[in-house]
């Protein structure tokens, strides 16, 4: 998937990840993109999937303070793509440990549309407390986030 430019407004920060248009489909999700919107305080995350069919809801979840989002590289089998979405919540209070929430996303291409499911897999409490002066990021490789 190619990253599209992130758009910033006074009301929300939106991250879009998607594929460009190509003449022949090379992946089941060609022409689709994921739009992540986090409110300025980081307490609400909205994931919307858009494509030729318009836009459809994905994840609509409250958090204390989302500070990083990562989508794993999709696994493709036929017209089905699976991936995990990792959401790092640095929490509001310095005494509260950070959490990592994992959703499992399955997209099944059906004609020009996409049937998708999101399943909350787990929420892991990390042994890290919030430091308001710290910027948090996530990275992955084939084995670890």
- Residue written as token pair 């020009």: 112
Domain hosting 79: range is 2-129
With the C-alpha atoms ordered 69, 12, 59, 128, is the resulting torsion angle positive or negative? Answer: positive
Residue 22 lies in a domain: yes
Residue 142 lies in a domain: no
Residue partners of 89: CB distance under 8 A and separation at least 6: 42, 63, 64, 65, 66, 67, 98, 99, 100, 101
Q: Rounded mean pLDDT of 4-13?
A: 38
- Dmax over CA atoms of the chain, in Å, equals 52
Residue 139 lies in a domain: no
Q: What pLDDT, in 10s, does the model give residues 22-76?
A: 445 567 777 778 888 888 888 888 888 887 778 888 887 888 988 889 999 889 9
Count of the separate structural domains present in the chain: 1
Residue 27 lies in a domain: yes
Q: For the whole model, what pTM was predicted?
A: 0.75
Q: What pLDDT, in 10s, does the model give residues 73-122?
A: 889 998 899 999 999 998 888 888 999 999 999 988 776 667 888 999 99
Residue 141 lies in a domain: no
pLDDT for residue 18 is more than 60: no
Residue 112 lies in a domain: yes
Confidence (pLDDT) at 104: 95
Residue 138 lies in a domain: no
* Tokens (6 digits) for 78: 């036929």
Residue 140 lies in a domain: no
Tell me the HSE value of 94 on the side-chain side, using a 13 A CA sphere. 4
> Would you call 22 helix, strand, or coil by DSSP?
coil
């Amino acid at each position: 998937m190619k990253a599209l430019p992130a758009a910033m407004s006074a009301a929300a920060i939106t991250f879009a990840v998607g594929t460009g248009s190509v003449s022949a489909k090379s992946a089941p999700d060609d022409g689709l993109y994921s739009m992540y919107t986090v409110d300025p305080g980081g307490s609400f995350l909205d994931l919307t999937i858009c494509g030729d069919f318009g836009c459809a809801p994905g994840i609509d979840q409250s958090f204390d303070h989302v500070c990083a989002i990562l989508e794993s590289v999709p696994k493709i089998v036929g017209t089905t793509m699976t991936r995990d979405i990792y959401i790092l919540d640095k929490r509001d209070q310095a005494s509260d440990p950070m959490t990592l929430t994992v959703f499992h996303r399955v997209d099944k291409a059906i004609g020009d549309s996409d049937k998708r499911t999101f399943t909350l897999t787990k929420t892991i409490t990390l042994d890290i407390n919030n430091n308001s002066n710290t910027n948090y990021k996530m990275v992955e490789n084939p084995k670890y986030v």
